[in-house]
Amino acid sequence: MQIAFCVHPHLATANEQRALAEQWLAAQGVESVAVNTDHLLIDSCEFTKLTEQTRDISLVCALGGDGTILRATRLAYAAQVPLLGINFGNLGFLSGASAKALFPALEAFLAGELHEDCRVVLKAEALFSDGSTATHTALNEVLLGRSLLGKVIVVDISVNGYPLPSPRGDGVIVATATGSTAYAHSAGGPLLTPDNQGLCIVPVSGLGFSAAALVSAPSDIIRLSVQEHTDQHPLLFIDGQPLNSDESDTFISSVAITKAERDMVFLRYDTPDFYTRIARSLAGGSHAR
């Protein structure tokens, strides 16, 4: 058995705890490996090599805030292993254990006693202007947004080939239930329970009736594209990471978004239920999970 630790490089406390956890695991006869979270970015050329080096892992353990945990899901999903997030950040919506529970949570994992939460993952198939394509997965959301400040874009939306009103604004988010508590929520989208299988379509700073959010069915195919008359190239973001640059010779023509074939498995130790977390978050609590 081998455990991969993904730690925010600038969180001293988290790195100190990782080092102690590695020593504790070694005493239990369990191997561990530290992963540089910079290698988990979409544009990292090291990611493929990293997945080869960690193909024998049984768990990804992320120490940090939601951003660190979100990056770590790329490795866990590629390796088809569960992820245990230890909250060293603020809200901690993606975490499965508090910082003080790191060692009890690892002990519970070795004993097979952690609770599993299965989360929907998005599959985004992007088509570029030169005819090339790229496919990525996202735990939280996909955003097709504007590249120029001060100028709106008009995004054409279709579901299963049926067109919806085209919102004018900053772009459109397609989010999972997990992502409904993140950017989609700040853009005015609804909160979905973690086991909800639908996808949430949320215009960002949209104008008029077309700005209404919509929750699709799990089997729906959502396609986003920017109208050709726009004077800017759209940018595509996968879980907050840009997939293309406005300065590039090619740009995003459209993106088809569906529910991925596999879910992401999160492990939970001492975190409360979804409604308690939401209540704490909305009340201004610093630890939502």
DSSP labels, 257-276: EEE-SSPEEEEESS---HHH
CB 84 within 8 A of CB 222: no
Domains detected in the chain: 2-119+263-282 (3.40.50.10330), 122-259 (2.60.200.30)
Annotated catalytic residue 43:
no
Is 202 strand, coil or helix? strand
Q: Please tell me what DSSP assigns to residue 114.
A: P
Q: How many CB atoms lie under 10 A from the CB of residue 11?
A: 18
User: What interhelical angle do 102-110 and 12-27 show, nearest 10?
Assistant: 30
- Write out pLDDT tens, residues 228-282: 766 677 899 999 998 865 455 678 889 999 999 999 999 999 888 888 888 877 6
Question: In this predicted structure, what is the pLDDT of residue 273?
Answer: 83
CA distances from 273 to 75, 110, 198 (A): 26, 23, 20
Question: What is the pTM assigned to this prediction?
Answer: 0.92
pLDDT tens track, the chain, 289 positions: 999 999 988 889 999 999 999 999 999 999 999 998 989 998 888 898 898 888 899 999 999 999 999 999 999 999 999 999 999 987 778 999 999 999 999 999 999 999 999 999 999 999 988 889 999 999 999 999 988 777 888 999 999 999 999 998 899 999 999 999 999 999 999 999 999 999 999 999 887 656 689 999 999 999 999 887 666 778 999 999 988 654 556 788 899 999 999 999 999 998 888 888 888 776 654 433 3
Active-site choice (66, 117, 170, 239):
66
Gyration radius of the chain's alpha carbons: 20
